[in-house]
Structure formats: C-alpha cells, structure tokens
Structure 1
Amino acid sequence: MFNLTHMLKLLILLLIVLPAIFSSFIPIQIQALLYSVSLSIKSILIFVVPFIVFALTFSSASSLKTDTFKFIILLLFAVCLSNLLSSLLAYFAGCIMFNNIRVIPNIEQVKDGLSPLWHFKLPIMISNFQALFLGFACGIVSSYASPEKGKIIGDKLLKGALFFLKKVLSPIIPIFILGFVLKLLHDQVLSTMFNSYFIILITTIFITYFYIFLLYGAASSFKIKDWFMSINNMLPAFITAITTMSSSMAMPMTLMGSEKNTKERNVTFSVIPATVSIHLIGDCFFIIILTLAITSSFNEHSLNITDHAVFLFFFLLSKFAIAAVPGGGIIVMLPVLEQYLKFSPAMLSLITALYMLLDPIITSANVMGNGAFTMLFTKFYKKVKK
C-alpha cells in the first residue's frame, strides 16, 4: 500500500505538471474526450459518496474502543470543538488575508472554453447530510443494542467502502484530475491561479503550523522546556506523515510520541486510533482557505453569511467521513462544495488539484495537530474524571 500510494501521488503530480508543458500538442478532440470522462467520473463520485459516508460514519460510531459513555461524549465533543475552532480561525484568517493581500484575480469564463462531448449525470438518491445522520444514528444504536453485531456490520461496511475507494476510485483519480487540468489549461485558468496562489499557500502554511505550535504551548502550560520537548517527541510522526502522506501509516509514531507527552498510555491509545481520521486541523485550515480563495477568484455566485454558515456546518460533519486514501479529505467535500457553495466543475477540479499537491503538508499538520489534541484532551479528561 505504501508503494501504491506513492506511485499514485507521483502520477497525480505528473498529470498536473506534464499537461502544462505538452497540452498544446494534444488535439482539442482528445482534450474534450478526457474532460468528458472527468465530468462523468465526478457525477459517479457525487452519486456514490453518500453511501461511502454512511459506511464510514457507521463504522466510526460503532467502533470507538472505550467502555465509558462519558469518555465517548467528551471525546466527540472535544473533536467537534477543535475542528470548529480550527475552521473558524481559518475562515477569519482567510477573510483578513483576501481583504489585505490583493493577489486573487477575477477569473471569467472563457467564451470558447473546452466543452464536453457528452453530459452524464446520475440522480442523487440520498444527500450527504442524510447519510451522515443515518450513519451516526445506526452506528450508535447498534453499539448499544448489540455491540458485537454492530462492530461486525461496521467492519464489513468499512471494508466495502475502503475496497471501493482503494481498488476502484484511487486508480481512476489520475484520469479524473487529468481531464480537469486540461480544461483549466485550455481556458488559461491554471497558470493564472498558481502564480497568484503562491503567497496564499505560504501564508496558510505559516498560519496552520503557528496555531499548532501554540496548541503544544497550551498543552505544556507554556513551559518552554516541556513545550519544545513535546514537539520534539512528535518529530518522528511528523517525518513519517510528510513522507508517506498518510495519517494512518504515521499512527504508530503518533502513539509513541503522544504517550511520551501525556504519560497516560490508556487514554492515548484510545484517543489516537479513534480520532486519527476525524480530527483534522490541516484539512480545516487548507480546505477552508482554498475554498475562500477559489470562490473569490471565480466570483460566479454571490455568497452571504448564511451560505458560509451552512457550508461550515456540513464541512464539520464531513470530518467524520474521511477515508485514508489519497485525496480522501477533499473527495467527500466535492458534493458539499457543489451543492452549498455552487462550485463549478472547474472550481472543483482546481481545489482537488491543489489539495493533492499539498497533501504532504496537510497530512503532517493533521498528525501534529492530533498530538497536541491528545495532550489537551488528556489533561481535560483527568480533571473531569476526578
């Protein structure tokens, strides 16, 4: 899986870079064909994602490894609060950034832009919200009514969802990206965006890691020695995350580093596995800021505070349905972005491409954030438990 993931990441990177060099040599009909295939894959994704979301949330709700109801409630509350805080900080940082750094061009639709050869669209059987609600409800009910059967069903659903994501979806992600990249290049969007986004990406990286740095400080009561020692203990997990681009593969190192920091093996070994895929500080910052940037750039629809509030609500819920596959963090967000922020295919393809390129940085931020969260939650839980 390690080699397959790396090959897929490299292929995606090549499919973003190479077309920029050779797109002028690709016939328009071939570009239109590949763009049509990408749109068809997007339609299939939006159709399938709610079922994947149900499977992942059911599995998550039915498999928390703890014997106390209080622990589950406190952990879920803490995860939601942390993700909310990260998202709000990202939102306000993005708003301040775009009001003061004028690097976002208004991108207009090209009149003779690349058009698909056909239109393929599947009906939406169930919304993401319904899938999330049903997944959580069924998972919680099964964990109380029949924990063993609920765990078995959850494991089977998880295996089915991961099989589809890893064996079916992952191999076609490069094709999905390629068609949209060709569309963006043909319409002269990609070059403009990358030139304009450099400052934004650097600023986002700084803001994200500075926030995580402060979290470790808070978890260490801002004692300088403990502060830097706690970060040092997590460096092996950070290096593993940035090289493997997988929070799951970095989990053994995350467990070791967090145990050194908390000195509480039982709590640490319950928190990390349960939250590795749902507590995602990196995703919160990067997806929110990229969303604001792309919305500002295309300027196709006028969005009010209600639109952003609804999007933020579903964004936070979607954190419970992230799969450990390349691009999993953005894949489950595509229907939400399309439905609530009116993202066009070009906007969806751009945020997907940027997310893929930044995945090592986003994943390492997620892992470092999980280490800080575990320290803070352990201190909080020990006080509540007394």
Structure 2
Amino acid sequence: MKKMGLLPRLILGIILGIIIGVVSSKVGNYAIPRIFVTFSELFGAFLGFIIPCIIIAFVAPGIAELGKESGKLLALTAAIAYISTIIAGTVSYFIGMSILPKVLKAEEIAKKAGVDIKPYFSLKIDPIMGVMTALVMAFMLGVGMSKIKGRTLFNSAKDFQHIISLVVKNILIPFVPVYIIGIFVKLTISGDIFRTLKAFSSVYIILFLLQIAYLVGQYSIAWMISGKKPFKSIKNMMPAYFTALGTQSSAATIPVTLQSARKNSISEDINDFVIPLCATIHLAGDTITLVLASMGVMIMNGAMPTFGTMFPFILMLGVTMVAAPGIPGGGVMASLGLLQDMLMFNPAQQGLMIALHAAQDSFGTATNVTGDGAIAIIVDAVAKRSEVKEALRLVQ
C-alpha cells in the first residue's frame, strides 16, 4: 500500500482534532484529548528549541553559498516582503471601507468560556537563543563565510545543516499531523474560535476571501516574472498551507514550507535562504487580519477609520511584524503598541483584537507561509536573470 502523503495526513489531523474535541465535549470526558494536548505541548516545546537552529542551519549556509550576491538578494527579499505587507494592508483598508460599514453591527463576544484542557505534564526546553538573535547570527555568519577564503566554518555549517535536515525529516515532518490533532482538539473544546466566528462572521468571510485573492495575486505576479503557472505553484504549496493552519506559526512551518517550495523548481540556495528569512519578515496574512479587524472594532465603537489614520498604521505594521518571530499570536502581540499609540485602542479593545486575531490566526499564518513561496519564485527568477546578464557581460 502506498504511503499516505503529507497533505492528506494534515487534513486528516485537522478533521480528527475537531471530531475528538466535539465528541469529548458532548460526553464530558477529556482523558483522550489530554493525551493529544500533552503531546502537542511537548512537541511545541521541542519546536521552540529547534526553530533558531533551523534558521541558522539554513539561512547562514544559504547566504554563504550565494557569495557576493547575498547582500543584494537579502535587500531584494526584504524589500519585496515589506512591499507585499504594505500592499496587503492598503488593499485591506479599501476593501474594508467598501464593505464593513454596510454589514458590521455592534455585537459582543460571548463571555462564557469553554473548557481549558491541560496536559498531563509538560517540559520546558529553552531555545539556545531567540529567533531574532538567530536571524542576526545567521546573517553575520552567512555574509562572513561568503567573504573569507577559508572553508572550515562553511563545511561545519553544512554539516550542522545536514543534522538539522535529518531531525526535520525524521522527527518534525512525521509527527506534525499528530501535533495538529492536539492543537485542534484544544481549540474545539475551548470554543474560542466558534464564539468569535459567530460575532464577527462577516469580517472573517471578508478576511478569508481577501487572503485567498491576495495569494492568487502574489503568484500571478510571480508568474509574470518567472513564467511559472500560478495555480500549479499554489497547489505545490498546499502542504505548507495546511501545516500552518495547525501550527499557527510561520517559523514552526519552515520545514514543510521548504519542502513544498522545492516542488516549484526553485534553486536550492535561494529556497534555503528566502523561506526561513520570509518566515520572520513577511506577514502579509497577519497584516490583512490586523487592518480589517481593527477597522471592525473602530466601526463597532462608532469611529470611522480614515485612510490618513490607517495608512501610517499600515506602514508601521510592515516594520513591527519583523518583531513577530513566527510564533502563534506573535503578530497581534507585536502590534499592540501601535494599536494603543496610533489608533488609540484602550485595553478592552486590545483584548478584543487579541481574541479576533486568535480566532483566525491559522488562516493568517497559512497566507504568510504560502506567500513566502511566491517571493522565493520571484527572487529566484531575478537571481537567474542576473546570472545570465553577468555571463553575457563576461563573454563580451
């Protein structure tokens, strides 16, 4: 019998998580859910530990192998990610202003809390460094290795990359579906998502449709630059999309995103460089959510968001999102200061934003990581054109 692929296992994990959560809630017995939640807690702790290792293992050698082009490609990737985020927020504003005032009414999120499932036990596994620290370290090592003549450090970095690749292949990828079961069991039993969806259903419908449309737009641009068919490219990224639905973390989804992006025939060096980088700096999905949700909260409280108010907020979001290191809920946590200082949100409104973001965090993260694949295609196409031009110049 042919082994079930990753994508079917991810979908099965989501369905099983919801079914187990619903059945357990009806019978009032949470023994089985606690087993899955315990596994998710342990697996999540291990993910938190290995994420900085993944970033260093893939980004540093990737930059080093790009050599002199690494600085240019780093600037190009960062610029594309920032522009993508700003466009996502701006489009969200105009779509929101054309629809939200007509459909959104003042409603309250239900106060009744569901059951909070606790693991049987948990372990604290501290990462060797923070994600942003790992990113800076990877930049420094990568650029440094590309400049020095010696190969000792580079060979060591490649050996470390091989070790991390084995961990990803033999531990992370096989157990991600079980991890997702535990996450969806807990979300289903707690009832947070369903209560929030009931009150803000119109906002979420707009969010989801806009996120999907934005992905199609990103891959259409990538198609115009690279010639790679957009819907085929999106199809290849679906394992990453569904993994992100469960992990709610761009960084935790890096192993699957790397695996999915390779199917789009992206150069290995570019893939290993762009995907981990964009997992930290490209959060277009979160930006769409934060802009539309904040507009919804403002409209509910009788304030009409203007472009003059929202556009500076969007510009700052593009920078602040870098401080959201690909962890669940990182986007909204990084934006709380902007919500308070620029949109004058009080603590209650900030709490509502956290709830709104949490209810769809999976879809925002899925949009982020799937969009990373489009950026990788664009950067790869630009890099190949530069190589061709350089070759022609040398021939002439």
TM-score band, normalised by the shorter chain?
0.5 to 0.7
Counterpart of 2:90?
92
Give, in whole Å, the separation in 2 of the partners of 1:128 and 1:247.
18
Secondary structure of residue in 1 paired with 2:151? helix
Counterpart of 2:209?
202
* Equivalent runs, 1:360-375 vs 2, <5 Å: 363=370, 366-375=372-381
Shift of 1:52: 2.7
Instruction: Please say if 1:144 is aligned against 2:143.
Output: no
Give, in whole Å, the separation in 2 of the partners of 1:83 and 1:270.
18
- What letter is aligned with 1:59? P
Give, in whole Å, the separation in 1 of the partners of 2:41 and 2:354.
7
Shift of 1:169: 2.3
Shift of 1:126: 2.0
Counterpart of 1:333?
327
* Cα distance, 1:277–1:131 mapped onto 2, change above 3 Å: closer
Q: Which runs of 5+ in 2 are unaligned?
A: 241-256, 299-311, 337-350
Give, in whole Å, the separation in 2 of the partners of 1:295 and 1:212.
27
Residue pair 1:47, 1:124 contacting (<8 A) in 2 also = yes
Give, in whole Å, the separation in 2 of the partners of 1:165 and 1:269.
17
Residue pair 1:38, 1:177 contacting (<8 A) in 2 also = yes
Counterpart of 2:229?
234
Counterpart of 1:312?
321
Counterpart of 2:301?
none
Give, in whole Å, the separation in 1 of the partners of 2:333 and 2:281.
23
Tell me the percent identity: 13
* Equivalent runs, 1:157-236 vs 2, <5 Å: 157-192=160-195, 196=201, 197-213=204-220, 219=225, 231=227, 233-234=228-229
Counterpart of 2:304?
none
Counterpart of 2:59?
57
- What letter is aligned with 2:322? F
Deviations for 1:216-268, whole angstroms, at most 9, x for unmatched residues? Answer: 66x5xxxxxxxxxx65x53585276156656656647546xxxxxxxxxxxx8
Q: How many residues align?
A: 335
Residue pair 2:18, 2:185 contacting (<8 A) in 1 also = no
Instruction: Please say if 1:74 is aligned against 2:72.
Output: yes
| TM-score (normalised: structure 1) | 0.65
Residue pair 2:258, 2:275 contacting (<8 A) in 1 also = yes
Shift of 1:166: 2.7
Shift of 1:160: 1.9
Give, in whole Å, the separation in 1 of the partners of 2:123 and 2:111.
22
Residue pair 2:92, 2:210 contacting (<8 A) in 1 also = no
Shift of 1:170: 2.6
Secondary structure of residue in 2 paired with 1:63? helix
Shift of 1:307: 8.7
Give, in whole Å, the separation in 2 of the partners of 1:244 and 1:92.
28
Shift of 1:82: 0.4
Q: Which runs of 5+ in 1 are unaligned?
A: 220-229, 256-267, 319-331
Counterpart of 1:126?
129
